[in-house]
Amino acid sequence: MTQSTLVDSPASTSTIRSDRRRSRPALRTVDYERAFDVLEGCDRAPSLPDFREQMVEALCRHFGLRHVSFFAGATFHNVFGDHAPLVEGATKKMLPEYLERWNRFDLFGSPPAMRQLVSSGVSSLSELQSRGNLPASAEAYVRHFLVSTWRMESATAIRLELPGGHTALVGIFDQRADKLGPPELATMRLLSRQLSAIARRLPPTRPKAALAGLSERQRQVVQLVADGLSNADIAVALSLAEDSVKKYVSRILAATGCQSRMELALLARSI
């Protein structure tokens, strides 16, 4: 897919933004409170895997959602091929058929949805249908997969920016077509920007997050282990007893989840 399918001309983009500002529903106090609650539920996540779990849990709790998925990929197009997404509710049962047959025709991979996701961070089935611009493949995905097979009348996606330029799509589905109205979608557009700001700064794996949380002395030990020094050499370098170094190393391995000094050294060198 060429870049031209995603980016409108400057004049049309300006018009779209102007129209969006005029049609954007005003957020109510309850909407801001809901957004703050979601952010509070995941803004202290130590790593991206933790963020993913906490964010989905917070969305489900504060928006009353049940069927939510979190797909990620190196590029927008790779997202739909994620074979290890986080899935909640009916999306667990939907996943095998989706990956085998439907991911290439996903509604939110269609050009109209992609433009909306890039420009505002959120796209919904109801908004796309109201504009009457769904491609035939996306229509088939909605009709045969979402509605006929799984009775999902509502579908929404939130686009998030991840570390290293990667992308995530949070899929939200429901049997009720009116599950998410304009105020909820507007709140999610606000959340898309704020959640992306949180996610972009997180370590991509839990071991790296644990390594970042070590004390200064522990990080010194890790660096010397990565340099290939033995416990005896580390003891001399840091003016410690060798038994103290052994305890440091054992605690560091437990904190990072590494199984050996070699794994710890490789982890330290990868940062």
Domains of the chain with bracketed CATH: 3-200 (3.30.450.80), 206-269 (1.10.10.10)
Residue holding tokens 């991509």?
A: 204
CA distances from 264 to 18, 29, 41, 76, 269 (A): 52, 48, 30, 32, 9
Rounded CA separation 234/242 (Å): 8
Report pLDDT digits (tens) over 144-174: 999 999 999 999 999 999 998 999 999 999 9
Q: How confident is the model at residue 259 (pLDDT cuts 50, 70, 90)?
A: confident
pLDDT in tens, 235-258: 999 999 999 999 999 999 988 888
**Range with lowest mean pLDDT among 82-86, 192-196, 207-211:** 207-211
Mean pLDDT across the stretch 92-98? Answer: 97
Q: Which residues pair with 227 in a beta bridge?
A: none
> For residues 84-110, b (16+ Cβ closer than 10 Å) or e, as one string?
ebbbbebbeebbeebeeebbebbbbbb
Section 12-30 average pLDDT: 61
The rounded distance, in Å, linking the Cα atoms of 161 and 13 is 21
pLDDT digits (tens, 9 = 90+) for 175-184: 999 999 999 9
Predicted pLDDT of residue 271: 65
At 9 the pLDDT is 42
Sign of CA dihedral 225, 227, 232, 238: negative
**22 falls in which pLDDT band (50, 70, 90)?**
very low
Question: CA of 126: how far to CAs of 12, 123, 212, 228, in Å?
Answer: 22, 9, 43, 58
